[in-house]
Structures are given as structure tokens and as C-alpha cells.
Amino acid sequence: MRNVITKLLLLGFVIVYVSGCSKDDMQVDVGVNSQLKHDSYAALSWYNLMLKLIKETSGHTPPIVARNLGYTGVTLYESLVAGMPQHNSLAGQLQELRYIPKRKYGVAYSATIISNAALARIIRHLFANASPANMVRIDSMESAIACKSAGSIFPGKVSGSIKAL
């Protein structure tokens, strides 16, 4: 347990350190692989916004930033792990993480829609003291990703994903 928390904090610190050493307009490039671009669009967009929020929101010292990045990573993983049969949830392994809702058998889900909603929710919570303009950015990003994703997914998968939330 303590080893997992230490690794998450170390990972968060490394991410913050590396992001501090680069340009303010840092964007993650996934190259020419269009499937990877589609699959990772929501997560990369949210992490890029989170880097901006870290710089613009008061009270986000390195230990808090590391913790917030860890929470965000766990949230993303837990939102997707039910669709990855070879992986296990961290429920019961992390303090206070006891139960993750199970997906219904036979219902189609969209990883992009689920991860978008999960990341929006955790980032709203972690940056509750963000400026009104940044809160609008959070809402706008959630809506934009949801609209972009819904347009490329058949309706049954969209409704199943929304009900899962």
C-alpha cells in the first residue's frame, strides 16, 4: 500500500518536473497513428488542461500537484479497467477505494465517453477553487469531447456509456 502511494507520488512529481521544464503550450503528440489519436484524445486533452490549471490555480504546491496527478491517473484507470479483462481494479488496494460499479454484461460502452466524464468529474473536484473562466474551460472541454465522441459511436454504445456513469 505504502509502496503504491510512493510510486504514484514519484510519478506525479516527475510529470510536474518535466512539464515545468518545457514550453507553456506543451502538447502531447501521438504521431500519425489515427487510432491512437482517437483513443487517447480525451485523456491527452484533459491532462493538457490540467497542466494549465496547475499553473493558474492558487494553492497547488508540488506535493498537492503530485497527489492530484495520482488521483487523476487512478480515476482514468478505474474508469477503463472494467473494459480490460486482463487487468484488475485497485479497489481494496488503495485506501478509501472500496467499490467500483461493475459494467452490465452485454451492454456496449465507449471508453472515450466514460473516461471523459470521469476525468471531468475528478478535475472539477481537484480544482474547485479555479477561476470562473477555468471552470468554464472544464465544462466546455467535457461537452466538446462528448460531442466529438458521440458523433463517431453508434447510439447504443453512447447510451450504455452514459448509463454507466
* Residue 146, amino acid: A
- Which pLDDT value is given to residue 93? 85
pLDDT at 99: 76
Rounded mean pLDDT for each run of 10 residues along the chain, 165 residues in total = 63 58 46 52 92 94 94 91 84 82 75 90 96 95 85 54 50
Residues 85-123: b if buried by 16+ CB within 10 A, e if exposed:
eeeeeeeeebeeeeeeeebeeeeebbbbbbbbbbbbebb
pLDDT at 3: 67
Closest CA to 84 of 96, 100, 98: 100
pLDDT at residue number 76:
92
- Residue spans per domain, the chain: 2-19+35-164
- If one counts every other C-beta atom within 10 angstroms of the C-beta of residue 3, the result is 7
pLDDT of residue 36: 43
- Report pTM: 0.70
Q: What's the pLDDT score for residue 10?
A: 61
